Structure 1
Amino acid sequence: MRVAQGRSIARSLGMSAAEADPYFQILNDTFTTLNLFDKPAQIFNIDESGLQLCNKPTKVVATKGARDVQSVTSSEKGETVSVITCCNAEGSFLPPYVIFKGKNKKREFEDNMTPGSVVVMSPESAYVKTSIFSSWNKDHFLPRKGPGPAVLILKGHASHCNDVDLLDFLAENEIAVVCLPSHTTHWLQPLDRSFFKPLKTYWNSACNQWIRNHPGRRITRYQFGELLNQAWSQAATVQNGVLDFGLVEFIHVQRCNSALCICSS
């Protein structure tokens, strides 16, 4: 007997052949129109995830039957920092684009980060909003996408799709946007499938190591760049990047009901 994990009705209904098949058809038509089947370097996926400025306790040695087992953490609940990640089907990652909540940016926030990384400030929250996504496209993605048309696969959040001027800008620069179907990103979002889990695992490992090496101190924004660099260098590998796009291989073979049933099970 196993305890089942909860899954919302919306996700249960969304991850079905009826919802997924049109998405794969749109993806196939886009690749055909832009002639990208043999150009994996021009197929990109973007997503964001939050990292906590706090370490999570790991397993420790304790007396058998002990109920009160504790481990030191940086704080009860750490600040959330969003990291925008983009990868192409060749397994190449763009440098991370980091969002801190606040108004005043300090140069020390970018110390020891991966080369090319960017830190931006958002007064309301550390989540992606339209202005930040627009800046990412114009200043971070476009200079790195390479010549020729490209496809950007993303979730259909309002911050990604509601800015008409941005959509016009992307079209003018030969960037086609393909949105994932609603309530399917837990299966169809490439970065969710194979990158963010190892990134958070390596992040927590780096945080735990830092706490052990600096007893009595807390993890703050000033240590974020160093810790992210450690986790990023281990997670942003070509192997993980190629695995990110494993689901896109549905396009290279004839779609069939059995394949889509695997996704919906």
Structure 2
Amino acid sequence: MVVPRNTKRVERVQNHSRISISIMVCGNVKGDLLPPMVYKSSNLYENWPEGGPPGTKYASSLSGWFDMNLFEMWYFKILLPHIKETRKEGATTIVAGDNLASHFSPAVNQSYKEHGIYITPFPANATHLMQPLDVAVFGPMKKCWRKILDNCRKESQYPGKFSQRAVSKFAL
């Protein structure tokens, strides 16, 4: 345990694990959020989709990172259908995002051309400055999520562990 020197009481004790779950979120300028893509390393558990938002896609990668395969899945199953449903005939679409190599697969690049979609990557080392969702949505969401997890930990019958159902109870 690491705490500042001269600390009399440790107020918050957290158990940590190697499990990392990530969420790919995308929104448009009108403020609509597309269904998320939830991914993690290794195993994808059978009960993950229970109670999730409609249209959410669930996947995993060996590394746990959002690789090219996951990006293609997200693009073709979430983003492209949304663009086709909501875009006016003949209009072009601009997609802004990270300048990651995994976002530039041959299949996705071909689709960009076919569907009149232009990709505008953020400048290198500037994504933290240029992603409005990070400040306006994810900051407050993370605070709320931490409260939910803290409540689950307090009420869990097994210290440091809780089920997805327990989290769902507090999230509602």
Q: Flag whether TM exceeds 0.5 (same fold).
A: yes
Aligned residue identity for 2:37: Y
Structure 1 position 140 matched with structure 2 position 75: no
CA contact (8 A) 2:148 2:167 kept: no
User: CA, structure 1 residues 224+190, in 2 after alignment: closer, same or farther (shift >3 Å)?
Assistant: farther
SS at structure 2 position matched to 1:99? strand
Match of 1:81 in 2: 21
TM-superposed CA distance for 1:72, in Å, is 4.1
TM-superposed CA distance for 1:194, in Å, is 1.9
TM-superposed CA distance for 1:90, in Å, is 1.0
Structure 1 position 215 matched with structure 2 position 154: no
SS at structure 1 position matched to 2:120? strand
**Partner Cα distance (2:122, 2:131) in 1:** 7
CA contact (8 A) 1:155 1:179 kept: yes
For residues 174-253 of structure 1, the aligned pairs below 5 Å read 174-219=116-161, 223=164, 226-227=167-168, 230=171
Normalising by structure 2, report the TM-score. 0.81
TM-superposed CA distance for 1:94, in Å, is 0.8
Of 76, 98, 108, the residue aligned with 1:155 is 98
User: CA, structure 1 residues 209+225, in 2 after alignment: closer, same or farther (shift >3 Å)?
Assistant: closer
Aligned Cα root-mean-square deviation (Å): 2.5
Match of 1:119 in 2: 58
CA contact (8 A) 2:149 2:167 kept: no
* Greater Rg over alpha carbons, structure: 1
Superimposed CA distance per residue, residues 57-85 of structure 1 (whole angstroms, 9 cap, x where no aligned partner): xxxxxxxx862324343x23452111000
Choose between structure 1 and 2: higher helix proportion: 1
User: CA, structure 1 residues 177+66, in 2 after alignment: closer, same or farther (shift >3 Å)?
Assistant: closer
User: CA, structure 1 residues 66+135, in 2 after alignment: closer, same or farther (shift >3 Å)?
Assistant: closer
Q: Please list every run of 5 or more consecutive structure 1 residues that lacks an aligned counterpart in the other structure.
A: 1-64, 234-265
Superimposed CA distance per residue, residues 179-207 of structure 1 (whole angstroms, 9 cap, x where no aligned partner): 11111112112222322212211111111
User: CA, structure 1 residues 226+215, in 2 after alignment: closer, same or farther (shift >3 Å)?
Assistant: closer
SS at structure 1 position matched to 2:25? strand
Normalising by structure 1, report the TM-score. 0.54
Match of 1:92 in 2: 32
Of 64, 67, 71, the residue aligned with 2:8 is 67
**Partner Cα distance (2:143, 2:18) in 1:** 16
TM-superposed CA distance for 1:112, in Å, is 1.4
TM-superposed CA distance for 1:165, in Å, is 2.6
Displacement over 6 Å in runs of 4+: none
Superimposed CA distance per residue, residues 154-177 of structure 1 (whole angstroms, 9 cap, x where no aligned partner): 01111112x123111122122211
SS at structure 2 position matched to 1:110? coil
TM-superposed CA distance for 1:93, in Å, is 0.4
Higher relative contact order (CA 8 A, sep 6+): 1
Q: Name the % identity.
A: 22
**Partner Cα distance (1:115, 1:192) in 2:** 22
